Amino acid sequence: MSDLMGIAVVTLMIWVGLFGYVYRLDRKVSRLED
Amino acid sequence: MRLADISKLALLVWLAVVIVAAFFYVHAAEGFIGESSRIVFFHVPMAWIAVLAFLVSCIASVMYLRRRDPKDDIRASVSAGLGLLFAVLATTTGAVFAKIMWGAYWNWDPRQTSITILLLIYAAYLALRGAVDDPERRASLSAVYAILAFVTVPFLVFVVPRIYWSLHPDTIINARGTNEFDSHYTQVLMASLLGFTGLYVWLYTIGCRIETIRQRRRQEVLDV
Amino acid sequence: MWRWLSEALAVAGKDLRTEFRTRVALNSLGLFALTVLAAVSYTVGPYRIAVEDRPFLLAVLLWIVVFFAALAGLDRSFVKEEESHTAPLLRLAASPPAVWFGKLVYNLCLIYALMAILVPLYCILMGYKIVLLRAFVVILVLGGYTLAVVTTIIAAIIARAMTRGALFSVLSLPLLLPLMIFLIQGTTGASEGSAETVTNTIRAVLSMGGIMTIVSAVLFPVVWNE
């Protein structure tokens, strides 16, 4: 059970991290466009 | 602006919920070894996006050949790049799944073969783009190749699996038309599909914007 | 209508005559095929493979040799026009559909010539027994045709690109792999005598060949005039 918890947490962290990266990229591109 | 930000936040929350649900809301499905059925929540959407991206790329290619708008070429190439990414992800998650279920990372069963060929198509498409310098020629030739490749795909996806005995679990909606899995499972899977599609759309728009800026910059340099 | 056809045959005739004189593609195709055949025959031979595995494994080896020989030699049809700078002349002299069909006929002749020599030799040297012989020939003919159709349009594409050689194989293989899978399956069936497999294969290859013909005929002018 704790293995599953571990994988779930890692996946969540990966997702949040990825989201943050793409969001920053999005903002940077918006700034370049204006 | 506000709406765009809200929808991105919604995407964040949506997929986060999907991840949590994949691990805690759903029981591990029968017929799968251990918890491996949970991989399906990620593997299937990734494969779906790989195919969707290819579809978008081909439609953009057809549009380009019709109206010769450089924006269509941008759409085609951006979608191809994303498609490659998701195809790699789908192959990797699929291999992990295969290892758990059948003991080997790679079996060359029809679905694995199909995704490999899709990967090769993407790689070939990008190699072709890399080999042509002139922008218009590059756009036309890659558009032609994308369409040729697209025509081959139905044979891959439909005919090859039927001819061969397959290790792959039957598609979720099997021949009898009933769901093999319980409703929780289907809910999460559909939610995941939706979330991944949203992610793809977001990445696609960003990619197109980046490429447009790059082209504009290049044009400015030439004009000076 | 007939003008188109005679233009096409003129293109094919010119290519075949040139080829006969210089024998570049024939050499690439033939040398590759015969070398591999010799190597396989020597190392594997008719006895090394277990009887029950033979229909499948020998089918695999046969089509690998044919496909790779094709990849070695079939890009010549367009590449040599670019290299000898005769392409612009050809654009003026003949209409795109005629050029396409002419080049296709040329590639078909090469492939069928290759098969005519290679396949019997292979079956003899490897001891490959085919139960459904007529079906096997049909598979060869249809498979060779589809192979030629795909390689013709890809050759046209890469002739317009900067780098050659490897790009031809890279672009062709993803499109040809499904075909290869069908042909291997069908040949296995023909060797074993399984009529159902053979019919499925023939149907699949026929539809693939038909669709690729139409699509490449439509798309060729785009590539040619680019």
Summarize pLDDT for C109-159 with one digit per residue, the tens: 999 999 999 999 999 988 888 889 999 999 999 999 999 999 999 999 998
The maximal CA–CA distance of chain A, rounded, in angstroms, is 50
Say if residues C70 and C122 touch (Cβ distance below 8 Å).
no
Q: For C161-203, what is each residue's pLDDT tens digit? A: 866 668 999 999 999 988 998 999 999 999 988 888 899 899 9
Nearest to A33 among B24, B202, B213 (CB): B213
- Flag residues of chain B having pLDDT under 70: 1, 30-31, 157-182
What residue type is assigned to position C61 of the chain? L
Residues of A in contact with B213 (CB under 8 A): 29, 32-33
In this structure, what DSSP letter does residue B159 have? Answer: I
Helix (H, G, I), strand (E, B) or coil at B179: strand
Phi and psi at C114, nearest 5°, equal: -60, -50
Residues 6+ apart with CB under 8 A from B25: B184, B188
Distance CA A10, CA B141 (A): 42
Range of the domain at C170: 2-225
Neighboring chain B residues of A24 at a CB cutoff of 8 Å: none
**Half-sphere exposure of residue B75, counting CA atoms within 13 Å on the CB side?**
17
Residue pairs between chains B and C whose CB atoms are closer than 8 Å:
91
Closest among C191, C218, B214, B203 to A22, alpha carbons compared? B203
The mean pLDDT value of chain C amounts to: 88
Which of A23, A24, A30, A34 to probe by mutation at the B interface, max B CB count within 10 Å?
A: A23
pLDDT at B25: 83
Contacts 24+ apart (CB under 8 A), B105-109: B107/B167, B109/B164, B109/B166, B109/B167, B109/B168
Contact between residue B151 and residue C211 where contact means Cβ atoms under 8 Å apart: yes
* Nearest CB partner across the interface for A29, out of B11, B16, B209: B209
Question: What pLDDT is recorded for position C79?
Answer: 81
Closest residue in A to B4 (Cα) is A26
C-alpha distances out from residue B88 to B6, B95, B151, C131, C169, Å: 30, 10, 21, 42, 21
Give the number of domains in chain C: 1
pLDDT for the residue numbered C43:
86
CA distance C39 to C124: 14
Minimum CA–CA partner of A7 in chain B: B23
pLDDT of residue A1: 62
